[in-house]
Every structure is written in structure tokens, then in C-alpha cells.
Amino acid sequence: MVRNIVVLGGNSHPKLVESVCNALALPACARILTKFSSGESRCEIKDSVRGKDVYIIQTGFGGNGAKLNDHFMDLCIMISACKTGSARRVTAVLPLFPYSRQPDIPYNKAGAPLFKAPTDAGRKDYTFDSVPATPAPNVPKSAGLTNGADITNRLLKASQLNGDGPASPMVNGKPNGESYLANGSNGAASVRAHPGSYTTHDYENLSIVNAFEARPGYKQWVAQAGTLVANLLTCAGADHVITMDLHDPQVQGFFDVPVDNLYGRPLLKQYIQQHIPNYKDAVIISPDAGGAKRATAIADSMGVDFALIHKERRPTKITERQNASMMLVGNVADRVCILIDDIADTGNTITRAAKLLKKEGAAKIYALVTHGVFSGDAINRINASALDKLVVTNSVPQDDHKAKLGHKLVVLDIAPIFAEAIRRVHHGESISVLFNFD
């Protein structure tokens, strides 16, 4: 039993709130948190917070009957309500920090985005590795995989003749086909990008993006809301922020208040050691250069080999239009592969990586991801992918995902980590031990 502490939960992840409260052996603060019929949030805090140390748990995930922005506004309103209710200190606990990932929108040389109009509607027929190819000059629409003509090999040969093919030739057609840029919950057409384009964000309604034209001579850009979100939290009155595995650790610097960035790494490491047979012989892989640090940290601490997938964006000789290909740096043939990443949102990155690893001869592919958001087409993509096991934490609610992905998905519980962090922050103890426990 911890005294003088109040744990207040938002609507985004009631289960996590419950388990954190259980771990701390205290009841969650009674509150009313609904919406007026006009759409405005209604918040009333029932228990006194005067002089208390308040922790508000709200994850950056839309669901449970409200949208992501609703949850975020709820959080700000709760913070401000506690502040006006004379709370001593208010800590925002965001297991998944919203808007932490900056959009990754590809541009071609002319500066216009590489979007293309929808060509195939509502496809659900993802297969193991036949994520459809993008029509391009000299590439038939059903590239190789369904009709048996292996276009990849043909192109590989061509590139080798040219003398400078990429090391792992995910060339023409294949990798491009994997770039899905669309389809929201509204059931809009699933849309595919131009060759070479590749994005980590799906739009709910791509046709608007396609129709959009910037003023001539101006290169359009997408607003990045990370700093804004940080400022809004502090302006609402947050005195402290606790989060986990920030996509960009720099986000910590956006805040004027202390930010504790917890790591899911110890949990993932524990899973590897306990559930992956002969993990010492496995290879830890980062699916992109940005995550290399995260993956090497795990690989180093366990003394396991490391490999990296590199997304090449240069134009290749094969075709001018294709400017993204993936190559593997390292050897994975006949070995167990463990992909490490922080967020799986559209599922693009990990499924692409899995496909490449399979092609390179990996025996078994695990993916360990801290935040399993799985928006848009992600579930279908993952079900159809070469991944054998996908391990995520419950930083966002995973019940729906578990129901759809079945045994493929393993969910690790982060509630003990957050409960311990809250306990330590409350008592003014160091939390650095949480960064590195085994």
C-alpha cells in the first residue's frame, strides 16, 4: 500500500490501469470520463486529489469507443482538473507516446510525393510472400509469384550482368509492391504506391492526398506534431512524464519537465532468453538503420550476432523510377532471426524485413516489438507474412490483435514496470535500475 498517491486512468487502456493499480495495491481513482452528446469530453474526478501525487495513465492509441485525439484531450483535461483540484504533482503516464513518430513520406527528385491513384480495391488476399508487385514498365501485373515466372531471378541476373546489383536484390517490382499507402477502417480501397516509395504511415483516405497539389514551386511538407504534443501536456499542467521506448529519444528534449523514458528492452531480452531455443546462435536484426542502436544494445548484452537491413533510397541502374531497395548487411542463412523494433504500426517495416530474411535463408523469424499498434492493414499483412512469432507488449490494448493473430502473437505485460516506476518516482527513488535489470 502506497500512501498519498492517486492513480487515475483514462479510457484508452483500462486493463493496464487495473493491473498497475493491483501491483501498487490501491484502487484506481473514481472519476467520470465520458462525452457530452455535443462531442465535448466530460470529466469529473470523484476522489479528492488535494496534496496528492497523481499519476494519470493514458496510452496513445485510438480505440475503446473513442479516437486517439479524444484520448489525448481527455488526458489534458484530466491533468488540468487535477491541477485545479490542488494536486501536489501530476504525472502523465503514456506507455505509448502519441505523435512521437514523424511521418516518413517519400519524395521523388521533382519534389512531389510518390503517390499513385488506387489500382486495386479492397484486397484481402495477402499471401505468404506474394505481396503484389507494382505495375511498372516491363513488369507484368502478377509478377512471377502466382504464375510461376520468377521475375526476380531474371532481374537479379540482369543486375548482376550490369555488375552492380544490390547485395540482396529486392529489385524491381517486388519490394515496390509492398508499399501500401492506404486503406483505413472506412474500408477504402487499398492503395499501392509508386515504385520505390515506402512509408511507415498509412493514410485513412489516400485519394485526397493524391488529388492534392502544392502551389507550383513550393515543396509540400507535413506538419510534425511531436513538439506541440509535448508543449500541450506541460501547458495542461503535467509536472512529470513517464513513457516507454520513445521512437525518437530526442522527444525527451521537447519537454521542460522531467521525462522518464522506460525501456521495454529488459522484457524483450527476457523473452529471448526464456523462449527462444538456442538463442545464442540466433541473429538479432534491426529492420532499419534508425533502430540499429536499439537492436545492438540487446545483441551486445547477450553476446548474440547482429545484422542490419538497410533501405537504399538511391536510384539504381535498373530503373530510374525505383529508388528504394532493401539489403541485408550480415548473414542469416539457416539461422534463427530476431527482429527488434520499437513500433509496428502499418506492419510494413517488419513484414518487408521478414520477407527479405526468408529469402536470405533464415530458419525461423521472430519479431520483438515494444508497441504493437497494428493500424490499417497491419493484421492482414502480418498474418500473411513470413513472421513465425510476433512479440509485443501491452503498451496498447492487445486483446483485439490477439484474437485476430492467434498464436502468432505473444503479449508481454508491462504493468509491473510501470507500477515499479510509479512507486519509485513517488518515493523519490532512482528509477535507473529499471533501465537495466536482468
Per CB under 8 A, the list member of 2, 23, 26, 73 interacting with another protein is: 73
Of residues 118, 125, 162, the one with CA closest to residue 145:
125
Segment interacting with another protein (CB under 8 A) among 9-17, 162-170, 280-288, 370-378: 370-378
Alpha carbon distance 314, 322 (integer Å): 8
Residue type, position 295, single letter: A
299, three cell numbers: 545483441
Choice between 61 and 126, CB closer to another protein: 61
Contact status: 346 vs another protein (CB under 8 A): yes
Question: Can residue 235 be called a binding residue for another protein (CB under 8 A)?
Answer: yes
Residue 187 touching another protein (CB under 8 A): no
> Given the rule CB under 8 A, which of 16-24, 159-167, 231-239, 267-275 is the region that contacts another protein?
231-239
- When binding is defined by CB under 8 A, the residue of 5, 24, 49, 191 that contacts another protein is 49
Distance, CA of 193 to chain centre: 20
From the number of C-beta atoms within 10 Å of its C-beta (0-12, 13-18, 19+), residue 246 rates as: buried
Sign (positive or negative) of CA dihedral 309, 311, 315, 321: positive
Please report, in angstroms and rounded to a whole number, the separation of the first and last CA atoms in the chain: 26
Contact with another protein (CB under 8 A) among 205, 252, 296, 383: 205
Candidates 11, 12, 19, 41; binder of another protein (CB under 8 A) is 41
Please name every residue paired with 371 in a beta bridge, in sequence order, or none if there are none: 343, 394
Could you count the other beta carbons within 10 Å of the beta carbon of residue 129? Answer: 17
Q: How far is the CB of 394 from another protein (least distance, A)?
A: 17
Q: Which residue has the cell 515543396?
A: 219
> Binding residue for another protein (CB under 8 A) from 55, 72, 126, 263?
72
Q: Is 194 in a helix, a strand, or coil?
A: coil
Q: By C-beta, is 167 or 222 nearer to another protein? A: 222
CA atoms of 29 and 51, how far apart (whole Å): 14
User: Are 85 and 49 spatial neighbours (Cβ–Cβ below 8 Å)?
Assistant: yes
Q: Is 88 a binder of another protein (CB under 8 A)?
A: no
Which lies closer to another protein via its Cβ, residue 232 or residue 363? 232
CA 342 to chain centre: 6
Binding segment toward another protein, per CB under 8 A, in 164-172, 232-240, 284-292, 293-301: 232-240
Angstrom distance (rounded) from CA 110 to CA 90: 48
225 is a contact residue toward another protein (CB under 8 A): yes
Positive or negative, the Cα torsion across 368, 400, 127, 105?
A: negative
Binding status of residue 78 toward another protein by CB under 8 A: yes
Closest to another protein by CB, 295 vs 344, is: 344
Residues 53 and 96 sit within 8 Å (Cβ to Cβ): no
Task: Give 201 or 402: the residue with its C-beta nearer to another protein.
Answer: 201
Task: Note whether 16 binds another protein by CB under 8 A.
Answer: no
Q: Which of 3, 4, 25, 39 binds another protein (CB under 8 A)?
A: 39
Asked whether position 44 contacts another protein by CB under 8 A, the answer is yes
Q: In the bound complex, what is the minimum distance in angstroms from residue 142's beta carbon to another protein?
A: 26
4 touching another protein, by CB under 8 A: no
Q: Whose Cβ is closer to another protein: residue 152's or residue 199's?
A: 199
Examine residue 70 and tell whether it contacts another protein (CB under 8 A): yes
Alpha carbon distance 153, 141 (integer Å): 16
How far apart CA 401 and CA 397 sit, in angstroms, is 8
Show Cβ contacts of residue 152 under 8 Å, excluding neighbours closer than 6 positions: 143, 144, 169, 171, 173, 174
Residues forming contacts to another protein in the complex (CB under 8 A) are: 36-46, 48-49, 61-62, 67-70, 72-74, 76-78, 80-82, 84-85, 98-99, 103, 183-185, 201-205, 208-209, 212-215, 218, 220-223, 225, 227-228, 231-232, 235-236, 345-346, 373, 375-377
